Structure 1
């Protein structure tokens, strides 16, 4: 039988096992504030239904431990999470609590939390205190007599806290858009750009050597503005002249990813500007004649770049082609803004 310890989200068939663990620990009255006479329904509500997520550690089909994860405070304090952990009395000393602790830290960072706080670690629970300190938590406060131990009476409790060591990364890019066709919506022959509507716009996507599709972007160099960085990266990656930026159309994506080699989480912010790619090197469009302009083709040697392919796409095709959901979110926002622009 497979002895691997698997940590996953709790499922209804697990509820009875979770209740048995909860009941044993609450009845002991040594480590948690839950009343010893807490009912099964109350326990399920407290441990599974109320938190944002609850997980179980399963080995050979048996639930050996569980933890919940939720924001420690609402609103402006919701970036700090709180977790609670329970291990079956028969499974202690087998590394289950350590596995749950490591899993919860990774999951909290993946979900966007910036720190984790334990509000009431009973001081006499020295095994737990040592474990949390080993996993990076510090005692930031002592609550005198805050816990009524069933055997020892009133004992101190600790507030323990860990701020996640996030690597900050910032980049700037351009969502390149091109309008190959113009249609008049105003009076005939005036040539006034305000009387022109644009149709069939297309987006330029790039495919990186690693296989994912996205938009041109990169990191800031010394003394560059965000706009200058975006323009430089666009020109370097496509070989095309600078775009005509639309200053009112600017989108920001934020996401986190794990650097596997170092085991550290990166908090990345990418600011995208919408840039109109012009059909000629001079950068001038004559509305009276540009009724069927051809989109410009990138002019870089692909084999010398980290890019393997370029593609101009209509919105639906671009949406399907983009690899990451954050990129698709940016495109949706851009399309909605251009439609109303």
Structure 2
């Protein structure tokens, strides 16, 4: 079974009154999630996080927060053809096992320049971010990040 390993971050920003806002990206496939990407050969997870955040958002000033590292494990299947004709059925590829390591990172800037991989972004307070995130496992990671930041 093919495997993929990625790293990403729950990126947050403290606004002028000290409230925390979380960065969510809107992916072309329609879901909302945190920025993440494949770990390249010879790269550490932390290097991947910094590179991917910069590539996907333009943010360079990340401060990784010690004591936070969460893993997501799941299976997915991509489709080779994304033809949207009524009778055309996309060809399925094999199942892929994916593991993503998430870090917690603070940004001192709020300006975002999204990459071609995304259609939008939002900085949201915790409750609204929790509602907006598409996947349950990502919601659980956001809950853990919020707990750590509110200790």
Instruction: State the partner residue of 1:339.
Output: 150
Q: 2:74 aligns with which of 255, 273, 277?
A: 255
2:71–2:101 Cα contact (<8 Å) kept: yes
Distance in 2, matches of 1:220 and 1:234, equals 12
Instruction: State the partner residue of 2:99.
Output: 269
Q: 1:203 to 1:308 in 2, by over 3 A?
A: same
Instruction: State the partner residue of 1:169.
Output: 4
2:20–2:125 Cα contact (<8 Å) kept: yes
Query: Would you say 1:178 and 2:13 are equivalent positions?
Result: yes
Instruction: State the partner residue of 1:201.
Output: 20
Instruction: State the partner residue of 1:161.
Output: none
Query: Would you say 1:298 and 2:112 are equivalent positions?
Result: yes
Distance in 1, matches of 2:25 and 2:77, equals 23
Instruction: State the partner residue of 1:328.
Output: 139
Aligned residue pair count = 140
Q: Which structure 1 residue ranges, 5 or more long, are not aligned?
A: 1-165, 183-198, 280-295
Query: Would you say 1:246 and 2:76 are equivalent positions?
Result: no
Deviation string, structure 1 residues 190-232 (Cα, Å, up to 9, x no partner): xxxxxxxxx4201011101221111110011232111000110
Deviation string, structure 1 residues 253-283 (Cα, Å, up to 9, x no partner): 111223453452222110011000013xxxx
1:214–1:327 Cα contact (<8 Å) kept: yes
Instruction: State the partner residue of 1:289.
Output: none
Deviation string, structure 1 residues 126-166 (Cα, Å, up to 9, x no partner): xxxxxxxxxxxxxxxxxxxxxxxxxxxxxxxxxxxxxxxx3
Q: 1:168 to 1:307 in 2, by over 3 A?
A: same
Distance in 2, matches of 1:258 and 1:210, equals 13
325-334 or 229-238: bigger deviation: 325-334
1:171–1:218 Cα contact (<8 Å) kept: yes
> In terms of Rg, which structure is larger?
1
State the secondary structure of the residue aligned to 1:326: helix
Q: How high is the TM-score relative to the length of structure 2? A: 0.84
Deviation of residue 238 (structure 1)? Answer: 0.5
Deviation string, structure 1 residues 112-137 (Cα, Å, up to 9, x no partner): xxxxxxxxxxxxxxxxxxxxxxxxxx
State the secondary structure of the residue aligned to 1:242: coil
Deviation string, structure 1 residues 309-340 (Cα, Å, up to 9, x no partner): 01000001111111111111111111112222
Deviation of residue 247 (structure 1)? Answer: 2.6
Q: Which structure 2 residue ranges, 5 or more long, are not aligned?
A: 80-90
**Structure richer in helix, relative to its length:** 1
1:234–1:242 Cα contact (<8 Å) kept: no
2:21–2:123 Cα contact (<8 Å) kept: yes
Distance in 1, matches of 2:76 and 2:120, equals 25
Q: 1:299 to 1:264 in 2, by over 3 A?
A: closer
Instruction: State the partner residue of 1:278.
Output: 108
Instruction: State the partner residue of 2:119.
Output: 308
